[in-house]
Structure 1
Amino acid sequence: MSSMVETGTGRGASAPSAARPARPGALSSTLTFAWRAVQKVRRDPTQILEALGVPVMFTLVFGFLFGGALAGSTSSYMQFYIPGIVVFTGIMISMRIGAVVNLDNSREVTDRFRALAIWRPAAIVGTLLGNNVLYVVGCAVAVAVGLAVGFRPDGGVLGVLATILITLVFVFSFSWVYVVFGLALKSPTAALSACQAIVFPVSFVSNFFVPQETLPGWLQAVVGLNPFALTVTAARGLAHGTATAGEVGAALVGCAALVAVFAPLSMFLYRRRA
């Protein structure tokens, strides 16, 4: 019997210990949560409808409303307006992020994610990246509607793609503001209302509708510090092939500043829930 124990063939043999699975890396964890966000978008047609409706509504209403008064003709105004509406579409659609994060918290899903042996920010970063599907759809629709009403980007296809790309970078950066509201407030409705309250001052106190140089001097200074306005300037330059390194660099610095301030604050609130 002792020989049976020694050789591991009898009842006294200890079961071989299973190899512990390797801890998933930051990238794989983030991509998993990004795929989760994509699946949630796929199962919620209202989000797709919003991505389609926002650029159509704002292009047709504000473009034709302000076009003749501000630029002399709608066609001329669309050359100025459409790159801005691409960026605006991105931050309008991404407002849902605050409510999404809050809803996860209210259902204690976040507590379950936090207990996993994964990179802590993966759940939030993955959610932000996964929702890029919506933003790409919205931006593409904005460009398509613009082309239909007379927008002709001098930068060609590459210019339009660069405009969408810098918009995605900005939306990712600005979405951290929404995450803060989603983690700090008590209900999805409150989070969404707070996100709406911040979007309109940021977008209207900017060079979105009118050239920055037409504003009062003090307001020009404020607009010059607005990351949204910096991104709109870069987007216009990229769309028409006139962007300078300084314009693109300023937009990226503005995006980096948003992440530097609001990403750590988001993670502080995320950890505090534990």
Structure 2
Amino acid sequence: MSAVSETGEITAPMPRGGVTQSVRDSLVVAQRNLIRMARIPEILLFGLIQPVMFVVLFTYVFGGSISIGGSTDPQLYKEFLMAGIFAQTVTFATAGAGAGIADDMHKGLIDRFRSLPMARGAVLTGRTLADLVQTTLTIIVLAGVALLVGWRAHENIGKVICGFLLLLLLGYAFSWIGALIGLSVRTPEAATSGGLIWLFPLTFISNAFVPVTGMPSFLQHVAEWNPFSATVAGARELFGNKMPNVPQSVTGAWPMEHPILASVIWSVIIIAVFRTLAVRKYRQSAA
């Protein structure tokens, strides 16, 4: 409950501490967001439309035109493409995370949470966990669409699952960037725009849709040190979709030589940095 200060002002209750309490509060907030998503199925539906469109367009429009290792075989391009589409899907969920938090701020819901004796970071953690669940459902459906258009994984089920977990880890890391953006803008519309404008160069200056061998030299370095590229390359390796006659790295960049480890390191760094910044921003706005 709220307390009354010596001056007669009503102050917000002190949040309860402890890791256990923080986890419990985060799960409660995550449950609240999942219930809201279930009641608005359009959120999941519209989240599926764009990646499905990308799969169909890239597969059937560009599939026979882009050379992979000297071959324009459409089947080869499907196996090259899908890790990039999966990675793009999990990272584009960033915009939704930011817009959702900005919407909660705009409607005053965050102010209600601040009046409760709960861990300060629980509101953001719960929101990002709920977004992770939504992204997981989207990836499951998208994987089914990929199988329908001819994509195949060539490794055992354990490695394939690890490939998807690697992608979801990157998506969760990027959702914290979205959380920071959502807390930093005034409207959900601004959060959506701010969440997408930097994602397009990040995803396209990478190895997701075309080999980096055809890029200018300076872009090759950018692409191969891009955390998005490391995750795409790591997922291809775990799916058994590494391309023949396509070099692992053009510039000798360490992330491309060790993509799985590099992807995990990049994701952990992004989570550590942007979670800290987002929670600090949340506390400052509550002051």
Query: TM-score of the superposition, structure 2-length normalised?
Result: 0.82
* More divergent stretch after superposition (233-242 vs 148-157): 233-242
1:209 alignment counterpart: 209
- The AA in structure 1 aligned to 2:236 is R
1:263 and 2:275 correspond: yes
Amino acid at match of 1:262: F
Residue 46 of structure 1: aligned partner: 42
Contact 1:180 1:262 survives alignment (8 Å): yes
Change (3 A) 1:246 1:186: same
- Deviation (angstroms), 1:128: 0.7
- Which residue matches 2:168? 168
Task: Give the Å deviation of 1:236.
Answer: 0.9
> In 2, Cα distance between the equivalents of 1:127 and 1:59?
28
Match runs of 1:69-80 below 5 Å: 69-71=65-67, 72-80=72-80
Q: Note the 1:8-27 alignment, pairs <5 A.
A: 25-27=21-23
CA contact under 8 A between 2:207 and 2:224: conserved in structure 1? Answer: no
What's the RMSD between the two structures over aligned residues? 2.0
- Per-residue deviation, residues 123-170 of structure 1 (Å, max 9, x unmatched): 101111112222112211222111112111111433332222111110
Distance 1:118 1:83 in 2: 39
Gaps of 5+ in 2: 1-15, 243-247, 249-255
The equivalences for 1:142-153 within 5 A come to 142-153=142-153
Q: 1:33 aligns with which of 15, 29, 33?
A: 29
After TM superposition, the structure 1 stretch with the greater mean CA deviation from structure 2, 43-52 or 53-62, is 43-52
TM-score, scaled relative to structure 1: 0.86
**How many Å separate the matches in 1 of 2:190 and 2:151?**
37
1:232 aligns with 2:228: no
Partner residue of 1:251?
263
The answer to whether the 8 Å contact 2:22/2:118 transfers is yes
Which residue is equivalent to 1:111? 111
TM superposition shift of 1:270: 0.7
| Matched AA of 2:86 | V
**Equivalent pairs: percent with the same residue?**
31
CA distance in 1, matches of 2:257, 2:75: 28
| Partner residue in 2 for 1:59 | 55
Question: Which one is further off, 47-56 or 179-188?
Answer: 47-56
- Cα shift at 1:241: 7.4
* Separation in 2, partners of 1:141, 1:73: 25
* Conserved? CA contact 1:94–1:135, under 8 Å: no
Contact 1:101 1:182 in 2 (8 A): yes
Give the secondary-structure state (helix, strand or coil) at the position aligned to 1:70: coil
Question: Considering only CA atoms, is the larger Rg found in Structure 1 or Structure 2?
Answer: 1
| Equivalent-residue separation in structure 2 for 1:245 and 1:91 (angstroms) | 23
Per the TM alignment, residue 57 of structure 1 is displaced from its structure 2 partner at its CA by: 0.5
TM-fit CA distance, 1:68: 1.0
- In 2, the alpha carbon distance for the partners of 1:94 and 1:50 equals 14
Are the counterparts in 2 of residues 34 and 129 from structure 1 also a CA contact under 8 Å? yes
Mapped partners of 2:93, 2:50: distance in 1: 8
Q: How many residues align?
A: 253
1:124 matched to which residue of 2?
124
- For residues 240-267 of structure 1, the C-alpha deviation after alignment (integer angstroms, 9 at most, x for no partner) is 1779992211001111221232222212
Q: What SS does the corresponding residue of 1:30 show, helix, strand or coil?
A: helix
* Matched residue, 1:198: 198
Query: Secondary structure of the residue that 2:63 maps to in structure 1?
Result: helix
